[in-house]
Structure 1
Amino acid sequence: MKRKIFAGRAIRELREVKGLTQSDLAKRIGVSPSYMSQIEANQRSLSGTVIVELARVLRVDVAAFSNDDGVRLAATLREVLGDPALGSLDITLQELKNASLHAPKLARALIDLHRLYRRAEEKYRSLDDALRASEGNAGSHQSAFEEVRDFFHFIGNYVDSLDRSAEALAARIANSSGDALSRLAHYLEANYGILVSRHFPADGRPFVSTLDRSRGTLLLNDTLPSPTLAFAVARHLATLSFSDEINVIVDAASFGGSDAGAVCVATLANYFAGALLMPYRQFAEEARRMRHDVERLAAQFGVSIEQVCHRLSTLQRPGNEGVPMYFLRVDRAGNITKRHSATRLQFARYGGACPIWNIHEAFETPERFLVQVAEMPDGDQYLSIAHAVTKGGGRFDSARLRYAIGFGCELAYADEFVYSDIIDTRKPSPVVKIGVSCRLCDRADCHQRAMPPFDRRVTIDPDLRNIVPYQLGQR
């Protein structure tokens, strides 16, 4: 089903910047003033022809008229309003979409208000944390991470200035000899006088790297693989070379507390490290040439599979966008520890992911890449790939962390992925019908349902017992 695009607010803002009236813009793109008025009021969707003409007249990329931000905002708002603490609210999905299109600032304010409520609840439930928190503290570490995740979610998981700085630095060190780790270590020593050394920890401490600025040394854990160590050096280069640039981005984000700001600094350093090891243009070209085969990409760039998947989800540079992808990582308990999406696919903000999604099955077959065609309740279908990864090791008593990573794209882009070769993208079978989480999923016939949707009543027939012991009633 073709998705309708509404971009009235964006068009109005661009028109006003150009100093044009509605009538002026209508005349230039060849529509009537009343038609233009309906477009700006989001009463009419944009046709392909109108989008092209708007882009030409307003001198912007056609991506400026995408309503993906509104879709994401509506989905986030729906989950926030699905909090059991708010009771059963009779709010339709269309009302949420209207709020996101016509009053996005109000919708974001509601999301922020809910975040503050969750912080207050967490403080109340954990007296020790509340006593340690100073006045104005942003709350628990989890709240800070959620705030930073929301920041990256709403900027499309792409930071242009930092990405281009990393690409420029990668070009400067590209001619050095050796692998990525050697090149980065040489640059660090030549430009900062910091000597990189590798150490086998006798006590098995699970550290990755330790920078001692006063002594001019960077100590790396020699039990870890080279991609992990190269990423660590690249991360330290971000804080040494681009801390001012990172701080400007964090200050502009206006986080609610210092904890979130500190988390965002670390996250942006990680972002820079990925962009440095996998420079945008070169990596995007190779990704398309290799049809997004993450194993081949990992081998070529000397990075891990997880680093490749994460980087693929950031390829949203204006004018040179990659395939819109999602990426997430879950632990064995089903907790989502990383989540990024340039697609319309939404992840659960609270609780685990859908249990019939193939990412959970990946733990059972750690050597394989699992491929699935998944359909969300709105009818959008995705090529979903899942793979298990293990971190740590290197010695018998080392801690080993096990995760499953998932990545994929809308089915329309599936042919650009080597993993689609095993399915018929024109008529995929079977299609696995998943949801964001049980609290938000409307599927009445799901045999894996853990709880009913927050906005549906349940009925129980004493003479009927299905796998799920209740039936979903009307809203």
Structure 2
Amino acid sequence: MRQKVFAGHAVRRLREKLGLKQTELATRLQVSPSYINQIESNQRPLTAPVLIAISRAFGVDITTFGADDLDRIVADLRETAADPLFRDLDLGVQDMKAVANLSPAFAHAFLRMHVALRRTAEWRSSLDDMLTTGTGGADESKLIPYEEVRDYFHYIDNYVDELDCAAEALAERLGVLAGSDPAAAFTGYLASQYRLSVDIGPADPQAPLYVLDVRAKRLVLSGTLSPQGRAFRLAATIAQLEQRALVDRLVASAGFRSQTAGEIGRLALFNYVAGALILPYRRFLALAQARRHDLDRLVLETGASMEQVCHRLSTLQRPGARGVPFYFAKVDRAGNITKRHSATRFQFARHGGACPVWNVHQAFDVGGRTLVQVGEMPDGVRYLCLARGISAPTLRYGQADRAYTLGLGCEVSFADQMVQADGLDLKAAPVARLGISCRICPRRDCDLRAFPPLDRDIRTDPAVRGIIPFEIV
């Protein structure tokens, strides 16, 4: 059954952007004003004829009226509502859906406020420790800018059309993915267009990975960079030189709350352009579809790294030419998610660690082999979850192993487009019961639960001890 689309907020935002009254919009769409009022108040769903009429009348991509964004907001609100601060309010899923549907801007403001409140509480706790023990903890408030930037990409499906199209146009001119060596093509372009020389410095682990001196027209890349790393840094340099005005405009429109968040967002957008230059949209999408998302084959044929390939796959959401919607995550040995993007309904924890059942944790133990898992989130949506361990060479004696796991996944409805699903009986395969994090997971019988849920009471019995030392009430 096709999901009904309640997108009154999107219709209202479009109408207000165009400066139209409800009666004027109704006239343009050839419907009654009362019908428009009911749509905007989410009393009635958007029908296919109305969606088509909106697309024809205003040139709007009707896929932007889907429910995925609202699903993410509801999931984030649910995690926030699990805070003991709100326990006596009995906030239900329907309450959160109502807020997300009627006023997503208010929902975002509430989420932002809760993050600030949480960080303030942690800072006060750190201050107490400093006063009582004479030692101070890290200033957790500094993490907020990174969270802002992650949320920015999260709510735009990790796709930036203007930057992606500009990068693709240049990549076509340079022949990237059409036989040319990306690093050589980028080096030649920097020399011809900007008279910028590129030098490879010594393999010194203490030296910066790159140093750009615009006045001297010189770019020095560290000798420790891999060939894929060098190509990425060259592409990022082109992005800084050519797309600064557009990136500045995007950062300004994003409404980041601090200069630091803006700087991080600017860097992330330059890196976005770099990834799009190395793996230009249409060529890479066609290749990924032809190879049925065989990650090893894509690495071999593009010359990009496994991380670059997985990250780029998660960005292929261009209107009218969408790829498979993937989630992408990079996880360290401590379980910290250092990168996360999602064009799916798959939800990452905004706070705390990831679900221990998720196969990204097991991938550290199997070398370079790709693990395949069918996982089901608490909302009942099932995913084909891929996990692949990667490592970077140590740069000096005594340095800790730099190992990570890459997680890539899509809903099982796209499994026929994935070579990793061949031979896998999706109806009979064991299903891993995943959660967002233990703190908000509703599953009562998970043997790997690390903490009790914040929004439920627990009971202990000194006479009975199970694998988990408490019972969720």
- TM-score, scaled relative to structure 2: 0.89
Map Cα deviations across residues 53-83 of structure 1 (whole Å, 9 max, x no partner): 6545665333032021111111112222333
- Contact between 1:373 and 1:383, CA under 8 Å: does it hold in 2? yes
Deviation of 1:271 after TM superposition, in Å, equals 0.4
- Contact between 1:383 and 1:409, CA under 8 Å: does it hold in 2? yes
What secondary structure, in the 3-state scheme, does the structure 2 residue paired with 1:446 have?
A: coil
Question: Are residues 223 and 350 of structure 1, via their aligned partners in 2, closer, same or farther at CA, if it must alter by over 3 Å?
Answer: same
Equivalent residue for 2:66? Answer: 66
Q: What is the CA–CA distance in structure 2 between the aligned matches of 1:286 and 1:20, rounded to whole Å? A: 46
Deviation of 1:105 after TM superposition, in Å, equals 1.9
- Residue 181 in structure 1 maps to residue 187 in structure 2: no
- Residue 251 in structure 1 maps to residue 252 in structure 2: yes
Deviation of 1:278 after TM superposition, in Å, equals 0.7
Equivalent residue for 2:270? Answer: 269
Equivalent residue for 2:133? Answer: none
Identity %: 45
Deviation of 1:228 after TM superposition, in Å, equals 0.9
- Contact between 2:209 and 2:224, CA under 8 Å: does it hold in 1? no
- Contact between 1:291 and 1:417, CA under 8 Å: does it hold in 2? yes
- Contact between 1:88 and 1:455, CA under 8 Å: does it hold in 2? no
Q: What is the CA–CA distance in structure 2 between the aligned matches of 1:50 and 1:151, rounded to whole Å? A: 29
What secondary structure, in the 3-state scheme, does the structure 2 residue paired with 1:419 have?
A: helix
- Contact between 1:15 and 1:58, CA under 8 Å: does it hold in 2? no
Deviation of 1:194 after TM superposition, in Å, equals 1.7
What secondary structure, in the 3-state scheme, does the structure 2 residue paired with 1:337 have?
A: strand
What secondary structure, in the 3-state scheme, does the structure 2 residue paired with 1:367 have?
A: coil
What secondary structure, in the 3-state scheme, does the structure 2 residue paired with 1:5 have?
A: coil
Instruction: Count residues with an aligned counterpart.
Output: 462
Question: Are residues 88 and 220 of structure 1, via their aligned partners in 2, closer, same or farther at CA, if it must alter by over 3 Å?
Answer: farther
Deviation of 1:39 after TM superposition, in Å, equals 3.7
- Contact between 1:355 and 1:448, CA under 8 Å: does it hold in 2? yes
Map Cα deviations across residues 85-115 of structure 1 (whole Å, 9 max, x no partner): 5555411111111110012122111112123
Equivalent residue for 1:411? Answer: 412
Q: What is the CA–CA distance in structure 2 between the aligned matches of 1:65 and 1:116, rounded to whole Å? A: 30
Question: Are residues 28 and 270 of structure 1, via their aligned partners in 2, closer, same or farther at CA, if it must alter by over 3 Å?
Answer: closer
- Equivalences for residues 336-355 of structure 1 within 5 A: 336-355=337-356
Map Cα deviations across residues 158-205 of structure 1 (whole Å, 9 max, x no partner): 111111111122122228985111111111122222211222334x32
Deviation of 1:45 after TM superposition, in Å, equals 3.8
- Residue 466 in structure 1 maps to residue 466 in structure 2: yes
**Farther-moved stretch of structure 1 (396-405 vs 340-349):** 396-405
Q: Give the superposed CA RMSD.
A: 2.8
Q: What is the CA–CA distance in structure 2 between the aligned matches of 1:81 and 1:460, rounded to whole Å? A: 25
What secondary structure, in the 3-state scheme, does the structure 2 residue paired with 1:422 have?
A: coil
**Farther-moved stretch of structure 1 (330-339 vs 223-232):** 223-232
What secondary structure, in the 3-state scheme, does the structure 2 residue paired with 1:310 have?
A: helix
Question: Are residues 249 and 18 of structure 1, via their aligned partners in 2, closer, same or farther at CA, if it must alter by over 3 Å?
Answer: closer
Question: Are residues 362 and 440 of structure 1, via their aligned partners in 2, closer, same or farther at CA, if it must alter by over 3 Å?
Answer: same
Q: What is the CA–CA distance in structure 2 between the aligned matches of 1:55 and 1:232, rounded to whole Å? A: 40
Equivalent residue for 2:219? Answer: 218
Equivalent residue for 1:146? Answer: 147
Deviation of 1:213 after TM superposition, in Å, equals 2.6
Deviation of 1:266 after TM superposition, in Å, equals 0.9
Equivalent residue for 2:135? Answer: none
- Residue 102 in structure 1 maps to residue 130 in structure 2: no
Equivalent residue for 2:120? Answer: 120
Deviation of 1:377 after TM superposition, in Å, equals 0.6
Map Cα deviations across residues 357-383 of structure 1 (whole Å, 9 max, x no partner): 001000011221000110001100001
Question: Are residues 396 and 225 of structure 1, via their aligned partners in 2, closer, same or farther at CA, if it must alter by over 3 Å?
Answer: farther
Q: What is the CA–CA distance in structure 1 between the aligned matches of 2:456 and 2:27, rounded to whole Å? A: 44
Question: Are residues 267 and 52 of structure 1, via their aligned partners in 2, closer, same or farther at CA, if it must alter by over 3 Å?
Answer: same
Deviation of 1:320 after TM superposition, in Å, equals 1.2
- Contact between 1:323 and 1:409, CA under 8 Å: does it hold in 2? yes
Question: Are residues 127 and 195 of structure 1, via their aligned partners in 2, closer, same or farther at CA, if it must alter by over 3 Å?
Answer: farther
Equivalent residue for 2:197? Answer: 195
Question: Are residues 364 and 89 of structure 1, via their aligned partners in 2, closer, same or farther at CA, if it must alter by over 3 Å?
Answer: farther
Question: Are residues 465 and 50 of structure 1, via their aligned partners in 2, closer, same or farther at CA, if it must alter by over 3 Å?
Answer: farther
Equivalent residue for 1:436? Answer: 436
What secondary structure, in the 3-state scheme, does the structure 2 residue paired with 1:353 have?
A: coil
Map Cα deviations across residues 184-233 of structure 1 (whole Å, 9 max, x no partner): 1111122222211222334x326422223333221222233201110011
**Farther-moved stretch of structure 1 (288-297 vs 441-450):** 288-297
Deviation of 1:428 after TM superposition, in Å, equals 4.1
Q: What is the CA–CA distance in structure 1 between the aligned matches of 2:352 and 2:440, rounded to whole Å? A: 11
Equivalent residue for 1:305? Answer: 306
- Residue 228 in structure 1 maps to residue 232 in structure 2: no
**Farther-moved stretch of structure 1 (333-342 vs 33-42):** 33-42
- Contact between 2:355 and 2:435, CA under 8 Å: does it hold in 1? yes
Q: What is the CA–CA distance in structure 2 between the aligned matches of 1:49 and 1:382, rounded to whole Å? A: 31
Q: What is the CA–CA distance in structure 1 between the aligned matches of 2:263 and 2:413, rounded to whole Å? A: 38
What secondary structure, in the 3-state scheme, does the structure 2 residue paired with 1:374 have?
A: strand
Deviation of 1:436 after TM superposition, in Å, equals 0.3
- Contact between 1:88 and 1:454, CA under 8 Å: does it hold in 2? no
What secondary structure, in the 3-state scheme, does the structure 2 residue paired with 1:370 have?
A: strand
Q: Residue type of the partner of 1:191?
A: Q
**Farther-moved stretch of structure 1 (338-347 vs 284-293):** 284-293
Q: Residue type of the partner of 1:369?
A: T
Q: What is the CA–CA distance in structure 1 between the aligned matches of 2:114 and 2:186, rounded to whole Å? A: 43
Question: Are residues 310 and 470 of structure 1, via their aligned partners in 2, closer, same or farther at CA, if it must alter by over 3 Å?
Answer: same
**Farther-moved stretch of structure 1 (5-14 vs 395-404):** 395-404
Deviation of 1:50 after TM superposition, in Å, equals 5.8
- Contact between 1:15 and 1:25, CA under 8 Å: does it hold in 2? no
- Contact between 2:15 and 2:25, CA under 8 Å: does it hold in 1? no
What secondary structure, in the 3-state scheme, does the structure 1 residue paired with 2:403 have?
A: strand
Equivalent residue for 1:134? Answer: none
Q: What is the CA–CA distance in structure 2 between the aligned matches of 1:4 and 1:182, rounded to whole Å? A: 50
Q: What is the CA–CA distance in structure 2 between the aligned matches of 1:443 and 1:289, rounded to whole Å? A: 39
- Contact between 2:373 and 2:432, CA under 8 Å: does it hold in 1? yes
**Farther-moved stretch of structure 1 (330-339 vs 15-24):** 15-24
What secondary structure, in the 3-state scheme, does the structure 1 residue paired with 2:96 have?
A: helix
**Farther-moved stretch of structure 1 (157-166 vs 328-337):** 157-166
What secondary structure, in the 3-state scheme, does the structure 2 residue paired with 1:389 have?
A: strand
- TM-score, scaled relative to structure 1: 0.89
Q: What is the CA–CA distance in structure 2 between the aligned matches of 1:20 and 1:454, rounded to whole Å? A: 45
